[in-house]
Structure 1
Amino acid sequence: MKIVFSIFFLLLITGCTDKNLETESVDEVIPNPQEVLRDYVKNPKTNDRICKDDIERAQKDLGKYKNIYVSTSCFGCKSLLYEDEILEYSTKQKFKVINYDFSCVIIDGQTQGCYKAFIDLEMEKVHGKNFRQKIEKEAEKLMIENIKNHDKVLSIFDLSENDKPHFIKEDNLIKQGYIPTIKTGLPLKNAKSNSIFLDVSFIIEKNGKVSTLKNENWVTEAVENEKYKSELEIIAKNTILTNYNNWKPGKYKNTIARVKNYFRVDFE
């Protein structure tokens, strides 16, 4: 953050008034929250029960396991693409992977994250400052290897816009995860006034073709439509296979990947 202090000097020269602006730029260093927490766990406040309990738990786990890698999770948080590979690689390196779940409830004066901070400090004494980055880098390499040789499937939601698979004749509706409403010819109850739809997942293969279609969700407000569920599922899947089976495949770091995608299919 730049804080600019402006000092104005009033100078009287030959009967004229002139203003000169002199500025001094100061860099204000904002501490990294993780570094602040790492310092804090060395001497937490007496009444910070959550943090002190976390540290006590960490000490017990360090007594049970020689090496620990702490993964984290919370509602709405984005996880690493290679979480599975972190577990796989860490296990090979004789690290115990333990998940720390951040609560959505924030309590004044109570600090979350002390478990991970305390464990990381202890692990750095043995494995160096960047031990987590080393594990994650190797896990990412392993994931790319799994994409290439073991058909690992990625989610479309985990990829950047440029890396996502794109339908060859893509429009805004398809980009949003929909296809045009299917006119079934079936006597569906309240089809025009109430939504009747299926959420269908499918995998876009490395060759751009669609496979492994699955009904993930079925919604109808009219009980009378339940008898058509199986038939509508067949119609939805056949429509996707027939009309939406030509994609530019997805990728991760220039590695072509199998990607799971979803369509919401409406009926009338």
Structure 2
Amino acid sequence: MRYLFLIFLLISIDGYSQDEQKFYVDELLERIQYLNNPNSNDTLCIFEIERAKKDIENGRVVFTQPIGFLFGDIRYESELRKLCKEYGLTFDFDLISDVIYEGQTQGCYGDFMDKVIIEKYGIGFKEDLHEKADSLFLFRTQSENILVRYWDCDERPRLPKELERNGDYLTTIKVNNLNIVEDKTEYGGWPFFDIGFIIEKDSTISDFYISNFVPHLEENKKFRDYLFKIAVKELKTNYSRWIPGKIKGIPVKTDNNVRIFFAKE
């Protein structure tokens, strides 16, 4: 088991180029430098700096992860929290709004915490801990066979005939024994499901569930359960084999999702 972990640790070595690493370091140092003399009108940044100082005075040094709309979520959060604790750090997300106010700088709380962490552990410490946490997560996908959400995979699950995942849409099923109705308004259409299921590392599928059902019209709601049965049958019959998602080239047990539409034949 120890040997297996060392293999995963080596696989996860940082693949960034020298230029990319230099850009990251230069940008980080520029942000930290701003903390020493923020613009007097930058009240948001000044407030966040004071908040960070107060937390540090109370013995709380925070390993921050910026997060916002469609960015910042990490698959190895649990592992990273545990690693931070080993170093006497608290892990927390630093919310970054997609609304920008002129002259106001977001992220100063996290930048100030980064400054303190760099002074104690060095400039590459956070990136190293991210990599180690991701390696631990990958190790668990094999040793514990944990389930990985498809969007957390480096390579998303796909059908055998696909070279790569083309999207969540899978198929449209035509039915003639149900009076489903098309919503012909601008943003309407035929009813559809987002259906989740598990892909095992041997490419078999199981445990189907509804993650979303959009009937579009009230009269289509009553067909939900019946349409779901039809969709599952379609998956088992015509899409029964899937290439599981991969992390760093290694197949993992994957929680997949596809979109299936229905239309009147």
User: What TM-score comes out, normalization by structure 1 length?
Assistant: 0.79
Give 1:192 deviation, angstroms. 8.7
- Runs of 4+ with deviation above 4 angstroms: none
Q: 1:95-118: CA deviations, max 9, x gaps? A: 211211011121111111111111
The two structures, once aligned, show a CA RMSD in angstroms of 2.4
1:70, 1:100 within 8 Å by CA — same for their partners in 2?
A: yes
1:147, 1:255 within 8 Å by CA — same for their partners in 2?
A: no
In the alignment, the residues of structure 1 paired with residue 116 and residue 162 of structure 2 have an alpha-carbon distance, to the nearest angstrom, of: 51
- Quote the residue 1:18 is aligned against: none
- The answer to whether 1:48 aligns with 2:39 is no
Give the total of aligned pairs. 237
- CA distance 1:179–1:171, change in 2 (3 Å): farther
2:65, 2:72 within 8 Å by CA — same for their partners in 1?
A: no
- CA distance 1:234–1:94, change in 2 (3 Å): farther
Greater share of helix residues, 1 or 2?
Answer: 2
- The answer to whether 1:85 aligns with 2:76 is no
- Quote the residue 2:230 is aligned against: 235
Structure-to-structure mapping, 1:239-258, within 5 angstroms: 239-258=234-253
- Quote the residue 2:180 is aligned against: 189
1:164, 1:251 within 8 Å by CA — same for their partners in 2?
A: yes
Q: Secondary structure at the match of 1:181?
A: strand
In the alignment, the residues of structure 1 paired with residue 183 and residue 79 of structure 2 have an alpha-carbon distance, to the nearest angstrom, of: 47
1:37 to 31, 34, 41: 31
Give 1:93 deviation, angstroms. 3.5
Question: Higher RCO, 1 or 2 (CA under 8 Å, sep at least 6)?
Answer: 2
Gaps of 5+ in 1: 1-28
1:178 to 146, 169, 172: 169
Q: Secondary structure at the match of 1:183?
A: strand
Greater share of strand residues, 1 or 2?
Answer: 1
2:221 to 222, 226, 241: 226
In the alignment, the residues of structure 1 paired with residue 163 and residue 258 of structure 2 have an alpha-carbon distance, to the nearest angstrom, of: 13
- Quote the residue 1:168 is aligned against: 160
User: What TM-score comes out, normalization by structure 2 length?
Assistant: 0.80
